[in-house]
Structure 1
Amino acid sequence: MNNRIFSHKAVILLALLLSAASCKKVQTTSPLRKDIQQSVFANGFLEFDNQYTIAANAAGILYGQIVKEGDSVSAKQMIAHINSNSQESQVQQSTFVYKNAEQNALSNSAQLAQIEQQILQASSQLNQDKTNYQRYSELIATNSVSKQDYENAKLQYTNSLHNLDILQKKYTDTKTSLQLNANTSNSELKSQRAILDNYKAQADGAGVVIAVYRKNGEVLKIGDPIALIGNGSYIIKLYISEDDIVKVSLGQKISVHLNTYTDQVFWATVTKIYPGFDNDQQSYTIEAKFDQLPPKMFSGTQLQGNIQTGVIRNALVIPAAYLQKNNIVQLKDGSVKTVSIGAKDDHWVQILSGLSENDVLNAPKN
């Protein structure tokens, strides 16, 4: 009795298994003709149209850093300071030297006033000697004075004239020299102030703080980045391989997949193609702009793009899911075949050779 029950159950189980196997049909498809979009794949990221790094222009210790990521900054806004005690002393010293030189270059300065006084005395002496010389010139005509006395009066007048000329030139040269010294001191002061400005980290233009690289108390070298600022609209930067760059042109459409919106596709347009090869990335670089902006964007967001480069009309295609590794497909009879493929996208693969529209393919087993 027990054996009959067991046999009956075995028959039922076998029937169920056969029924399940028959219900699980293998999915099949055949190649078909359709238009397929050619595209170039590229990786990239988002960044602001205008983006710049605030870097240290002097070595020292950072302090006064108060901005953080996401803060808005205005043009010339102070971002941080670098310790500059020694340079501030240089500015103070240069300020003192310039003010002293500026005072000396004034018309009423002590040096110029002294020479002016000497010129006044020399002018007075010249007038006296000129009058005396003229008087002796009249007397010598009537032989009323000796020739020696006349010559002495003439010599005295000539010397006074020469002395006044020397003093006047001395005044001009001294004034020029003092003014030159003041100008030189002013230039030195400006130079020292410019150096002091290097100890100030400030925003070149209005924008948003994208990243802060240094904290208060850190020791900086010249060129060390302090913060990254961005403004303007967002642009897409994409890296293109050497094999594909010749296929890319301005105005082509791009389907963009942002890592922040994994289930959405955004469209963009190629706006710029960089002429040079980027050795760091080992690729060429292009820029694009969104046709319609995503709801939220963040500088540095990674993305992938498919640049539409053309359409192949009436191409023989199969679903991309039916193509296995090494370009192998499985026929309905279970045999496999290697095919030659052309263009492909997320859904379709172009078959250049190896299949016809009459072939039937099995879907790959999971």
Structure 2
Amino acid sequence: MRIISVVITCLVLISCSKKEDKILPKETHLVESVYSSVTIQPDSLYQVYAIVSGILDQNLVTEGDIIKKDTPILKIINNTPILNTQNAKLALDLALENYSGSTTVLNGLKDDIETATLRYKNDSINFYRQKNLWNQKIGSKVEYDTKKLNFEISANNLKTLKNNYSRTKNELITAFKQAQNNYQTSLINTKDFTIKSKINGKIYALYKEPGEIVTTMEPLASIGSANNFIIELLVDEVDIVRISENQEVIITLDAYNDDVFKGRVSKIYPKKDNRNQTFKIEAIFNKAPKILYPGLSGEANIIIAKKDNVLAIPKTYLIDNNKVKTDEGVITIETGLQNLELIEVRSGITKNTYIYKPEND
């Protein structure tokens, strides 16, 4: 009798457990969202670089300083641009002297042109005089040919000198302008020995100590907004098409335990990061925490849609993503919004239809 009693008890328990797996769909408020990891960064954050190589002479600020735009932050020692500037000034002075000085090449060419012009006029007079005599049958053919040849040589020589003058003048002007540009460029380089901030903000990092070598390829400092922070989110490529600007974002930060903050999507970067197959999204706080630091991490849910009075069932009761087991057998349903636990039922069953949890669950 004891064995029969135990068996009966087990059957009752099994029967009860199966009854517990039967539920009715319920109407509820349903929110669908996209999950993302979160990193906090200052707004307008940028890396500071030098455009000249050298040695860091002095950090003019310290990490954590609040600075204004154009505040000097770093001083670099580099003698090369100074020497280049001096050489560029010498080249500019020489180019200017060659172009407009009292002993320029152009003045010499002018003198040659004046001499050639006088010779051309003289040879022209002699030629036409001899030509008139030759037309009157006076003089010899040799004298006529000689005067004609001298005239033609003088004309060609004058033309060549004038062309040389124009070409030389253009070359000297070009050389002067190039020397002028090189000098201006070298002056710009000398001004970059002291690096200034491009924004009003805060010094978040200094990467070099005085005496260390500075190159144009390595960042020297990190500067960003002191008070305004942005929320960087990484969204999977499967979900990116569902994201749009101004969508609501629910944020939790590890540094603030269970506090929940709200924000909105402010920017969507169109390029995918092929390393992790994600897209970068930026959001801003509706009301930011009182204290924030770069690099704070957390989690976020980007709200895709909200609905009230939605007929929903637990996802665990689904079969093949769009079917449920009922008293009438397995029925196909039309689904809609969903979150981690619930999914909307648009058609196929009603709030009075009992559904059963699949046996393999």
- Residue 266 of structure 2 is aligned to residue 271 of structure 1: yes
SS in 1 for 2:41: strand
Which SS does the other structure have where 1:343 is aligned?
A: coil
**Letter in structure 2 aligned against 1:74:** K
Q: Distance in 1 between matches of 2:183 and 2:134?
A: 63
Contact 1:51-1:229 within 8 A present in 2 as well: yes
Stretch moving more, 59-68 or 271-280: 271-280
Partner residue in 2 for 1:238: 233
Are residues 37 and 129 of structure 1, via their aligned partners in 2, closer, same or farther at CA, if it must alter by over 3 Å?
closer
Residue of 59, 66, 70 corresponding to 1:71: 66
Distance 2:79 2:243 in 1: 55
Cα offset for 1:268? Answer: 0.8
**Where does structure 1 lack aligned partners over 5 or more consecutive residues?**
1-30, 318-341, 346-351, 355-366
Residue 285 of structure 2 corresponds to residue 290 of structure 1: yes
Please list every run of 5 or more consecutive structure 2 residues that lacks an aligned counterpart in the other structure: 1-22, 315-338, 343-354
Query: In structure 2, do the counterparts of structure 1 residues 187 and 131 end up closer, same or farther at CA, with 3 Å as the change threshold?
Result: same
2:302: which partner in 1? 307
Larger Rg: 1
**Which of 124, 127, 131 is the matching residue for 1:137?**
131
Deviation at 1:47, TM superposition (A): 2.2
The alpha carbon displacement at 1:284 in A equals 4.0
Deviation at residue 242 of structure 1 after TM alignment: 6.3
Q: Does 1:161 align with 2:155?
A: yes
Give the root-mean-square deviation of aligned CA atoms. 3.9
Distance 2:240 2:106 in 1: 74
Q: How far does residue 267 in structure 1 lie from its aligned partner after superposition?
A: 1.3
Is 1:225 the counterpart of 2:222? The answer is: no
What CA distance in whole angstroms lies between the structure 1 residues aligned with 2:84 and 2:147? 58
Question: In 2, Cα distance between the equivalents of 1:256 and 1:195?
Answer: 46
Alignment check: 8 A CA contact 1:38 1:344 kept: no
Q: CA deviation at 1:118?
A: 1.3
Of 330, 340, 344, the match for 1:343: 340
Distance in 1 of aligned mates of 2:305 and 2:135: 115
Identify the residue that residue 209 of structure 2 maps to in structure 1. 215
| Partner in structure 2 of residue 10 of structure 1 | none
Q: Which moved more, 1:265-274 or 1:292-301?
A: 292-301
Q: CA deviation at 1:153?
A: 3.0
- CA deviations 1:89-147 (Å, max 9, x no partner) are 12321221232123212385521101111111121222223223333333444455444
Question: Aligned in 2, Cα 1:161/1:250: closer, same or farther, shift over 3 Å?
Answer: closer
Amino acid at match of 1:343: L
Does the aligned pair in 1 maintain the 2:60–2:72 contact within 8 Å? no
* CA distance 1:156–1:283, change in 2 (3 Å): closer
Q: C-alpha distance in 2, partners of 1:185/1:92?
A: 12
CA-to-aligned-CA distance 1:123-178 (integer Å, 9 cap, x gap)? 12222232233333334444554444343333333332222222212212222232
| Cross-structure match for 1:92 | 86
Paired positions, count: 295
**Shift in Å at residue 39 of structure 1?**
4.5
Query: Which amino acid in the other structure matches residue 91 of structure 2?
Result: V
Give the distance between the partners of 2:154 and 2:242, measured in 1 at CA. Answer: 92
Instruction: Report SS of the residue matched to 1:268.
Output: strand
Contact 2:248 2:303 in 1 (8 A): yes
TM-score of the superposed pair, with normalisation by structure 2: 0.65
1:55 aligns with 2:49: yes
Aligned with 2:251 (options 236, 253, 256):
256
1:167-215 CA distance string (max 9 Å, x none) = 2122122222323333444454456556656765444445433322222
Equivalent position SS for 2:340: strand
